[in-house]
């Protein structure tokens, strides 16, 4: 096993050197690297590294699965990457790769990953605190009328109320613009005096700004307006820095941005983002309203495939996190959790049957990774893709668990990864059904893997009696 610094240096070399890197970010488990020339990267050699469970290739981007220590590897990688490229404008630009432009969907995934990844620990911690608080309420250990409960609720839900400000900060880093101005712009929309202008729960009533009618809405918990307006801010700020004398930057740029962008956010960007959020919420409501059992089975069954291709962050950031921020719960986060346990069950079956000690260690580690941290990539890439049948069995087991959860309308209270340590985040009337659903997914994945078997001789599986 290499040290973090050694691994980072090896990855840099195997991806074609520092001059071949155009942009780097990371999510919960993966280092995501955009390359200038994909042909210079040695994917097979990267996959052969002991510390890399798998690699996903999409267009000009390599998603290198690391695990929960990906943040440390990212820091080491950035230190090893010593060219000026890592401070360039790669934010959202279309880098030319072998005469083709980067796929827009891949750009979108890279964008949302870079914006939301820094917030994941906070979202998970706040969610668990909320789950523990709800559990204490239900067990009668904590009165819902007590000030202790009020403080704990505020601590757990503040992240969602002020989510536009947090997203503004991370988006500002992504777009290379001032995070302080970004927070000030979005903060104007959640000031108490602005909130008093919003009539009814939905808002939409008109106010006047310099004689121009503008609709007002409640923008707490919304993320789409924050991302759009910070991108516009970056364009304006970069333009003014190029055109204005340096002596005027400190005074003119913040003044112009606040004066122009706050009204633009209220009158144009905010309403667009609000209606987009409503559209997404209605689409989710329609999907879950068709038949909860079918929806649970579909989401549970397909989620590992989304993870395998690295596109699960689109529904995570555009659907699940906003839904939890807006309503406090999400059924989709529960259905997605079954995918983890389905693969954990498949890994346990491999652990029980294989005579290959290296594979036995890998499968045991993959299962524990799911239980303790909700990280499923080692099971997907180390076992599922490699031997095929564990992936099929894990997906089918997850579908069974998701269907069960759908039958009892299970919801989660926070954005967390499905595992044993995050169960409190699902505290509530349907907690029992969530636990049973996880068990169904786990044992379903295990039993189906045992039934399907693994024909690859490398697995050295014991024959069934």
Active site residues: 27
Alpha helices (runs of H) in 265-387, residue ranges in sequence order? 270-290, 292-308, 313-315, 321-327, 331-353, 357-373, 377-379, 385-387
Smallest Cα–Cα separation from 400: which of 268, 261, 299? 299
DSSP secondary structure code for residue 198 in this structure: -
Provide the 10 A C-beta neighbour count for residue 121: 11
Q: Which two tokens stand for residue 434?
A: 């969530």
Cα–Cα distance for residue pair 180/273, rounded to 1 Å: 21
Taking the CA of residue 232 as centre, how many other CA atoms within 13 Å lie in the half-sphere pointing to its CB? 20
> For the chain, how far is it from start to end, CA to CA, in angstroms?
38
Radius of gyration of the chain (CA): 24
């Amino acid at each position: 096993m290499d040290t973090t610094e050694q691994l980072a240096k090896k990855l840099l070399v195997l991806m074609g050197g520092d001059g071949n890197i155009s942009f780097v970010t990371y999510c919960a488990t993966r280092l995501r690297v955009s390359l200038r020339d994909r042909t210079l990267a040695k994917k097979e050699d990267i996959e052969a590294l002991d510390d890399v469970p798998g690699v996903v290739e999409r267009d000009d981007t390599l998603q290198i699965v690391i695990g929960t220590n990906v943040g440390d590897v990212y820091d080491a990688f950035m230190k090893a990457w010593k060219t000026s490229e890592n401070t360039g404008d790669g934010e959202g630009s279309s880098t030319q790769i072998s005469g083709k432009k980067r796929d827009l969907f891949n750009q979108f995934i890279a964008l949302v990953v870079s914006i939301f990844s820094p917030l994941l620990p906070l979202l998970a911690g706040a969610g668990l605190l909320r789950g523990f608080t709800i559990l204490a309420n239900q067990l009668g250990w904590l009165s819902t009328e007590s000030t202790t409960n009020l403080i704990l609720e505020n601590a757990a839900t503040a992240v969602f109320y002020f989510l536009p400000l947090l997203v503004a900060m991370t988006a500002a880093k992504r777009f290379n613009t001032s995070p302080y101005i970004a927070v000030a712009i979005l903060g104007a929309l959640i000031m108490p005096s602005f909130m008093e202008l919003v009539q009814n729960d939905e808002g939409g009533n008109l106010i006047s700004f310099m004689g121009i009618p503008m609709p007002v809405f409640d923008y707490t918990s919304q993320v789409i307006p924050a991302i759009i307006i910070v991108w516009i801010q970056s364009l304006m700020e970069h333009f003014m820095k190029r055109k204005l004398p340096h002596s005027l930057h400190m005074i003119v740029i913040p003044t112009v941005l606040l004066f122009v962008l706050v009204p633009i956010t209220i009158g144009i960007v905010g309403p667009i983002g609000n209606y987009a959020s409503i559209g997404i919420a209605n689409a989710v409501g329609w999907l879950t309203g068709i038949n909860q059992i079918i929806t649970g089975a579909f989401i549970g069954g397909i989620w590992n495939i989304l993870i395998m291709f690295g596109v699960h962050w689109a529904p995570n950031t555009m659907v699940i996190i906003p839904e939890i921020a807006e309503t406090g719960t999400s059924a989709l986060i529960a259905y997605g959790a079954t995918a983890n346990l389905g693969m954990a069950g498949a890994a346990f079956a491999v652990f029980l049957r294989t005579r290959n000690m290296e594979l036995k260690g890998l499968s045991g580690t993959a299962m524990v990774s799911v239980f303790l941290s909700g990280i499923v990539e080692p099971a997907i890439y180390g076992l599922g893709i490699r031997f095929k049948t564990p992936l099929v069995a894990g997906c089918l087991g997850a579908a069974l668990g998701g269907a069960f959860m759908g039958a009892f309308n299970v919801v989660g209270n926070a954005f967390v990864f499905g595992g044993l340590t995050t169960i409190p985040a699902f505290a509530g009337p349907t907690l029992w059904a969530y636990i049973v659903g996880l068990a169904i997914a786990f044992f379903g994945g295990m039993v189906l893997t045992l039934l399907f078997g693994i024909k690859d001789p490398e697995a050295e599986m014991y024959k069934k009696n």
